[in-house]
Amino acid sequence: MYEQAMSKIPLLISRSKISTEGHKTGEWRFVTPSFKEKTAPCRATCPVGEDIPRIGMIASRGLIKEAWETIMAENPFPCVCGHVCFHPCETACNRAFLDESVAVHHLERMIGEAGISEGFSASVLKTPSNGKRVAVVGSGPSGLSAAYFLSMLGFSCDLFESKDQPGGILRWGIPAYRLPEWVLQNEILRVEHMGVRIHCNTRITPERIGEIMDNYSALFMGYGHGRSVTMGIPGEEMAADGLDFLLEIRRGNLPAMDGIAAVIGGGNAAIDVSRSLIRLGAKPLIIYRRSLADMPAFSKEVNAALDEGVQIMETAVPVRIEEEDGNLMLRLQKMRAIGKDPEGRSRVVPDDSAPINLCVQHVFTAIGAQSDGILNPKEEGNDRAIPLSHSMFTLSKIPVIYGGDLTNAKRSVSDAIASGKQAAMAIDTYFHHGFDAIRERLNVSRVGDRDPLSMAIYLETDRASRSPKVISYSDINTDYFSNTPRHIPQTIPMLRGELSFMVKEPVFSLKEGVGEASRCFHCGICNDCDNCRIFCPDISVSCVENGRRINLDYCKGCGICVAECPSGVMELEEEQP
């Protein structure tokens, strides 16, 4: 009865076997979606222009070697920077608007350590030799970086270092509790594996410059600021030089100290000296001429110093040092602010108060450094010169490029690495396209119309096609990201004595690192989420090699793919009539 009843029920519905492919619904379209990768704010802020969103994306899939290679395309020192970089990327991170910024710094440290422990090789990035030789003076971060990138571009490099070991500020200026020796050694070794010959104990005097000019195609000057600036006050000879102190510590001389140690200065060196002193048993007191907010040291370092018990006296200047009963009597003049200088720091003058006498056991100076002055860029006034953001290109008999602290406004390791990279690009451009092409080639190699230069963009890889538009938080579809707090490894409490200089800073486990990387929005780059294809109501998006394609025969321009793109890659453009 059931079957019988069923067969009798009328059922007339609209159904057709004719293909709908004949309906070219694309004709209705007046806006067209497209895939256009853009620039992430972290990358645009990174001095070396690391492709951070791609590193995040690759690392989130557990592909650590590929993530490492992505760093190495822009920076020969992932592990060094994973320890000492001031990571402006994290301040720029769009994720901070949702919960907290991605811990890029710790991620880089994890990837950098993996690169060392797994023995990854960067030689795949090397291009064939072009037969040209470049001399590099100074084996600090800018010199090492210049040599690395020049080797990548096919140049043969000789690197000259006056001290007995390479590394410059990385080796002699940064205490081991911030940058372990093994990290530095391994990453310098990798630069040598690129074919760079490092000649230690080789001081380049002005007399040897002529010899270099006869034997090399180009010269990079990155010998840095190795000589401390002096205060010029009576009794200064009783103060110890902060840079020498740091150097002695790196050489393994770790004297037990006690009493109050006044540290004059407000830069990173003053902080490093103070934090080293407290580890050796002294009570450091930083004396700085301006206010705390004006200190040129990175605020993370200042805060770490304060946390460890370093004290800071603001707006005071030493005017005299005298010996008194085996102690040092430091006479200080209090200062007051009168407006700002052109860099935005307070301008200070002595106030009307009488000088203060401070009884201390040690005085260290760390008020800045200057170059040893082999050749100075300004002395080459008659040559054709191009001042660049991180270096100075000059043309005498051969191209001579000055970089690192000699030219950089910001004296950070990352900016020094950027300087070496810029010099390498400038030299390469000079030999391939001539002097006049340098400015333009470097200009188009910038990340997001900002200062950072990208070697990947310079080499015109696929990433060169990215739009300079910097992705903002409003470009991200945050429906695809849930609130997940940032997780960073806990820091080890400060130890004292010799031990404190041997501590290994904590690092993500692979699982933690992958988890942290998966918090990345991948601003402006396609992360293969496939939303555009899945959501397309016209089945117009298809997967092709290297990405996706939109079939404009059927795309109505509804924009759903654009709305559902989590990373701001897709955009809509009005059709031109």
Partner 1 sequence: MIRILEGNHAVSEAVRLARVQVISAYPITPQTHIVETLSEYCADGKMNARFLCVESEHSAMGAAIAAAMGGARTFTATSSHGLAYMHELLHWSTGARLPIVMAEVNRAMGPGWNIWTDQTDSLSQRDTGWIQLYCEDGQEVLDTTVSAFRLAETVNLPVMIVLDAFYLSHTFEPVDVPEQGSVDRFLPPFSPRFAMDTENPANFGELVPPGLYMEMRRNIQLAMESVPGCFSAIEEEFFFQFGRRYGPVECWMCDDAEVIMVVSGTITGTCRQVVGDLRGRGEKAGLMKIKMFRPFPAREIRNAFNPNQKLAVVDRNFSFGAGGIFAQELKAVLYQAPDRPRVFEYIAGLGGRDVTPKTLETIYRMTKEQDTPKMESVWIDLNVVDEGI
Return residues touching partner 1 (CB under 8 A): 1-2, 5-6, 8-20
- CB-wise, 24 or 504, nearer to partner 1? 24
Q: Which of 387, 370, 376, 75 is nearest to 221 (CA)?
A: 376
Asked whether 421 and 455 are in contact (CB, 8 A), the reply is: yes
| Minimum distance of partner 1 from residue 126's CB (angstroms) | 50
C-alpha R_g of the chain: 29
| Minimum distance of partner 1 from residue 566's CB (angstroms) | 18
- CB-wise, 19 or 546, nearer to partner 1? 19
Left (φ > 0), alpha (ψ -120 to 50) or beta: where does 173 sit? alpha
Burial class (CB in 10 A: 0-12, 13-18, 19+), 428: buried
| Minimum distance of partner 1 from residue 312's CB (angstroms) | 56
| Minimum distance of partner 1 from residue 4's CB (angstroms) | 9
- CB-wise, 28 or 182, nearer to partner 1? 28
- CB-wise, 1 or 124, nearer to partner 1? 1
Pair of tokens at residue 323: 């010996």
- CB-wise, 23 or 300, nearer to partner 1? 23
**Helix, strand or coil for residue 215?**
helix
| Minimum distance of partner 1 from residue 5's CB (angstroms) | 5
- CB-wise, 2 or 30, nearer to partner 1? 2
| Minimum distance of partner 1 from residue 16's CB (angstroms) | 5
* Three-state secondary structure string covering 410-477: CCCHHHHHHHHHHHHHHHHHHHHHCHHHHHHHHHHCECCCCCCECHHHHCCCHHHHCCCCECCHHHCC
- CB-wise, 9 or 409, nearer to partner 1? 9
Pair of tokens at residue 542: 């298809």
Question: CA-to-CA distance for 243 and 268, rounded, in angstroms?
Answer: 11
Pairing of strands 327-340, 316-324: antiparallel
| Minimum distance of partner 1 from residue 340's CB (angstroms) | 54
The number of C-alpha atoms within 13 Å of 56 and in the hemisphere containing its C-beta is: 30
| Minimum distance of partner 1 from residue 533's CB (angstroms) | 17
| Minimum distance of partner 1 from residue 557's CB (angstroms) | 22
- CB-wise, 11 or 409, nearer to partner 1? 11
Contacts 24+ apart (CB under 8 A), 436-439: 438/386, 438/393, 439/386, 439/388
- CB-wise, 20 or 205, nearer to partner 1? 20
Pair of tokens at residue 112: 């950098």
Question: CA-to-CA distance for 156 and 216, rounded, in angstroms?
Answer: 10
Question: CA-to-CA distance for 566 and 552, rounded, in angstroms?
Answer: 22
- CB-wise, 5 or 544, nearer to partner 1? 5
Q: Which of 104, 60, 43, 103 is nearest to 78 (CA)?
A: 104
The DSSP annotation for 561-572 comes to HHHH-TTS-EEE
Cα torsion at 424, 269, 309, 358 (round to 10°)?
Answer: -170
| Minimum distance of partner 1 from residue 21's CB (angstroms) | 11
